[in-house]
């Protein structure tokens, strides 16, 4: 075999082992016995040691040096780009540090879940201090003298920098704040009248998942504390959660995770277990989940179809028809939880986390002061106080898992989704007619063809630029939000510069 063929065979084995490791995480979140936690930490740490050894195997460097990139096609060169990037980054992190982080974050997750249930940040703070310390150490190793937070971003959005994201987010904030203020001054649409049987929610969630193209023969839907998607190729699993008083929590969490899952299911089969065989970045990944959830799932056309399914399942919803249902789905109201936030306010939640975690990693904010800093920032941004830690600093799983640099990709994904939605509507002029019939094939097919099938073939911004015919900008998202919510709430068009 050539050096390239040998390298790719080795890579596919590593990729398969990584999928096994990911399945351990899925099991921990869903059906693992409560008493198995300590053992699972050791299992995950052992798998991480094996993966780290493979990713830093000196033969990888020898194979890379022996390959003539000029003799490869575009796909081959893209494989080399990913493998070289991963190899060089992994070499910078000592094996013991990688194993210690895997073991620590597995333990930290359990501590976080218990602290969240008890509304006790003090119980989580000690282990979070350990996580932040090790992540700072890892980030410094990866940065090799450069910006530590930028080095962390590279794991989730290659090529992005904190300065670039701060500029984009700075452009988002003024129009979002103006729109939020204008909307909250208006009367709120009527909410649904419950309760709603939670098993019926899961049954409807299954139906909705299939409607959006999720192949259940290659996946499954379960419940977890924090909804997530796991896996790639022919084994992509998702979770959701239920609330008897809020069926939208379950349904839209499901649609969101289906967006992630469909991305993974639709990557070209030839890329299986290789660096090209998964979503290229978390920002692009989030663009899929957000366009599924919001621009498609919360559209007037699709909610008309969903209203009929909800009525079939629950009878009278206490609303005056599909238009009132559409308004209820898109209610803008005060709330603490990022994952439950409406489209207008969601990015404000993300920007709070982005600023706080940058400060944590830089050493400008210590863990002992994090809860107070969160509460202070939340009050400044949203105008009311956090009522309890599970609604504030303890609500997200990310920091317990050491995922620093992940949060900003949520807002970046929203920006990408705004661009993709504008292009999708041009490509499918009768989109609303199809959505009103519960027919998502043209919409999801366009996304599969223009984004999902390529996996990691192109760099993140290039994926969006190729699909949309221009570089990504926050303008499309802001225009969409102002037009949509301006119409729902009857806003003065001049107040928020809404445009159709």
pLDDT tens by residue, 320-337: 999 999 999 999 999 999
Q: Say whether both 134 and 180 belong to one domain.
A: no
Q: Is 130 left (phi over 0), alpha (psi -120 to 50) or beta?
A: alpha
Q: Say whether both 123 and 169 belong to one domain.
A: no
Q: Say whether both 101 and 223 belong to one domain.
A: no
Supply the pLDDT for residue 120. Answer: 98
Q: Is 143 left (phi over 0), alpha (psi -120 to 50) or beta?
A: alpha
pLDDT tens by residue, 191-226: 998 899 999 999 999 999 999 999 999 999 999 988
Q: Which domain holds residue 110?
A: 3-153
Q: Say whether both 170 and 139 belong to one domain.
A: no
**Segment among 13-17, 274-278, 382-386, 479-483 with least mean pLDDT:** 382-386
Round to whole Å and give the CA distance between 110 and 106: 7
Supply the pLDDT for residue 225. Answer: 82
Q: Say whether both 262 and 198 belong to one domain.
A: yes
Supply the pLDDT for residue 499. Answer: 37
Enter the tokens of residue 350.
């993300």
Annotation: binding site for Zn(2+): 256, 260, 286
The set of residues, in sequence order, having a beta carbon less than 8 Å from that of 324 and lying 6+ positions away, is 189, 190
Supply the pLDDT for residue 213. Answer: 98
Between helices 475-489 and 408-427, what is the axis angle to 10°? 80
pLDDT tens by residue, 26-83: 999 999 998 998 999 899 989 989 998 999 899 999 999 999 999 999 999 999 999 9
Q: Say whether both 140 and 173 belong to one domain.
A: no
Annotation: binding site: 256, 260, 286
Q: Say whether both 328 and 304 belong to one domain.
A: yes
pLDDT tens by residue, 175-188: 998 999 999 999 99
Supply the pLDDT for residue 498. Answer: 39
Q: Say whether both 426 and 336 belong to one domain.
A: yes
Supply the pLDDT for residue 497. Answer: 47
Of 126, 153, 180, which one is at a domain's C-terminal end? Answer: 153
Q: Say whether both 149 and 167 belong to one domain.
A: no
Band of pLDDT at residue 500, cut at 50, 70 and 90: very low
State the DSSP string of 5-69. HHHHHHHHHHHHHHHHHHHHHHHHHHT--GGGHHHHHHHHHHHHHHHHHHHT-HHHHHHHHH--G
Q: How distant, in Å, are the alpha carbons of 81, 133, 146, 285, 472 from that of 161?
A: 19, 22, 11, 18, 15
Enter the tokens of residue 428.
């499918």
* Residue 255 near residue 293, CB atoms below 8 Å: yes
Phi then psi dihedrals of residue 238, to 5 deg: -130, 160
Q: How many domains does the chain have?
A: 2
Supply the pLDDT for residue 493. Answer: 67
Give 3-state DSSP helix, strand, coil % of the chain, rounded to 5.
70, 5, 30
Of 153, 180, 197, which one is at a domain's C-terminal end? Answer: 153
Q: Catalytic amino acids?
A: 257
Q: Say whether both 175 and 312 belong to one domain.
A: yes
pLDDT tens by residue, 340-357: 899 999 999 999 999 999
Q: pTM for the whole thing? A: 0.90
Band of pLDDT at residue 494, cut at 50, 70 and 90: low
Round to whole Å and give the CA distance between 193 and 195: 7
pLDDT tens by residue, 284-315: 999 999 999 999 999 999 999 999 999 999 99
The set of residues, in sequence order, having a beta carbon less than 8 Å from that of 35 and lying 6+ positions away, is none
Of 88, 123, 153, which one is at a domain's C-terminal end? Answer: 153
Q: Say whether both 191 and 265 belong to one domain.
A: yes
Residue 154 CB coordination number (10 Å): 19
Q: Say whether both 296 and 147 belong to one domain.
A: no
pLDDT tens by residue, 429-474: 999 999 999 999 999 999 999 999 999 999 999 999 999 999 999 9
The overall average pLDDT reported for the chain is 95
pLDDT tens by residue, 390-407: 999 999 999 999 999 999
């Amino acid at each position: 075999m050539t050096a390239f063929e040998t390298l790719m065979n080795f890579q596919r084995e590593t990729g398969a082992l990584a999928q096994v490791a990911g399945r351990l995480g899925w099991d921990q979140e869903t059906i693992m016995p409560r008493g198995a936690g300590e053992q699972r930490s050791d299992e995950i740490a052992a798998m991480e040691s094996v993966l780290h050894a493979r990713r830093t195997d000196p033969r990888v460097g020898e194979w890379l040096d022996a390959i003539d990139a000029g003799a490869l096609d575009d796909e081959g060169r893209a494989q080399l780009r990913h493998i070289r990037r991963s190899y060089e980054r992994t070499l910078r992190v000592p094996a013991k540090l990688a194993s210690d982080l895997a073991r620590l974050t597995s333990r930290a997750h359990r501590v976080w879940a218990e602290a969240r249930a008890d509304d006790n940040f003090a119980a989580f703070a000690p282990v979070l201090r350990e996580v932040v310390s090790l992540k700072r150490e890892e980030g410094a190793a990866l940065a090799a003298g450069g910006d530590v937070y930028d080095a962390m971003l590279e794991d989730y959005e290659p090529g992005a920098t904190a300065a670039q994201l701060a500029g984009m987010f700075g452009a988002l904030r003024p129009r979002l704040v103006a729109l939020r203020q204008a909307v909250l001054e208006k009367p709120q649409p009527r909410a649904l009248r419950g309760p709603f049987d939670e098993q019926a929610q899961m049954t409807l969630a299954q139906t909705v998942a299939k409607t959006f193209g999720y192949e259940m023969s290659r996946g499954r839907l379960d419940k977890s504390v924090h909804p997530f998607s796991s896996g790639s190729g022919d084994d992509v699993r998702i979770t959701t959660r239920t609330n008897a008083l809020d069926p939208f929590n379950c349904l839209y969490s499901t649609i969101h995770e289906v967006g992630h899952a469909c991305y993974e299911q639709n990557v070209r089969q030839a890329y299986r277990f290789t660096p090209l065989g998964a979503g290229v970045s978390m920002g692009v990944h989030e663009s899929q989940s957000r366009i599924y959830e919001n621009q498609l799932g919360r559209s007037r056309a699709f909610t008309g179809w969903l209203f009929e399914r909800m009525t079939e399942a629950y009878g009278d919803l206490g609303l005056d028809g599909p238009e009132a249902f559409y308004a209820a789905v898109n209610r803008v109201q005060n709330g603490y939880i990022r994952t439950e936030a409406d489209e207008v306010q969601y990015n404000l939640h993300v920007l709070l986390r982005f600023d706080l975690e940058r400060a944590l990693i830089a050493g400008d904010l210590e863990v002992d002061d994090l809860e107070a800093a969160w509460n202070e920032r939340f009050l400044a941004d949203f105008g009311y106080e956090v009522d309890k830690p599970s609604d504030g600093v303890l609500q997200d799983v990310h920091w317990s898992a050491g995922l620093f640099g992940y949060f900003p990709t949520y807002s970046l994904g929203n920006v990408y989704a705004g661009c993709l939605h504008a292009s999708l509507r041009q490509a499918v002029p009768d989109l609303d007619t199809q959505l009103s019939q519960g027919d998502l094939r043209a919409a999801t097919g366009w996304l599969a063809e223009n984004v999902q099938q390529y996996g990691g073939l192109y760099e993140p911004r290039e994926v969006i630029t190729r699909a949309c015919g221009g570089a990504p900008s926050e303008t499309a998202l802001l225009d969409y939000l102002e037009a949509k919510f301006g119409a729902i709430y009857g806003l003065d068009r001049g107040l928020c510069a809404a445009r159709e």
